Amino acid sequence: MLFHVRMNVSLPASMPADDAAKLKADEKALAQRLQEQGKWRHLWRIAGQYANVSIFDVDSVDELHALLTSLPLFPYMQIEVMPLCRHPSSIRSDDR
């Protein structure tokens, strides 16, 4: 199942810089691992914002929920999820 996910991150201004750097490093490592596994299919930064638009390819809504809540930055995110399906006018037969 494919999902379009927008993540807006808002770290507290009072968070110590070392704590923020650790969270970001942990987030990056997990995001890259999930990309290598094919679960986090695409990841794009939104220019000028601490936000991204991503495409996830998971087996269920429950798997997506578990994955998103496992992200180190999850407590500091506002997340919007949209399920996707193939458009009948698409000239592509797959999601690549």
**CATH code for position 46:** 3.30.70.1060
Report pLDDT digits (tens) over 21-43.
999 999 999 999 999 999 999 99
Looking at the domain assignment, is residue 90 inside a domain?
no
Question: pLDDT exceeding 90 applies to what percent of the chain?
Answer: 89
Non-local (6+) Cβ contacts of 58 within 8 A are 1, 3, 39, 64, 67
Report if residue 53 sits inside a domain: yes
> Count of domains in the chain?
1
Domain annotation covers residue 93: no
Q: Which domain holds residue 80?
A: 2-84
pLDDT recorded at residue 96: 59
Alpha-helical regions (H) of 1-96? 17-36, 61-69
Query: What pTM, to 2 d.p., does this model score?
Result: 0.90
- Asked if residue 96 belongs to a domain, the reply is no
Task: Determine the Cα angle at 7 with ends 4 and 44, to 5°.
Answer: 65
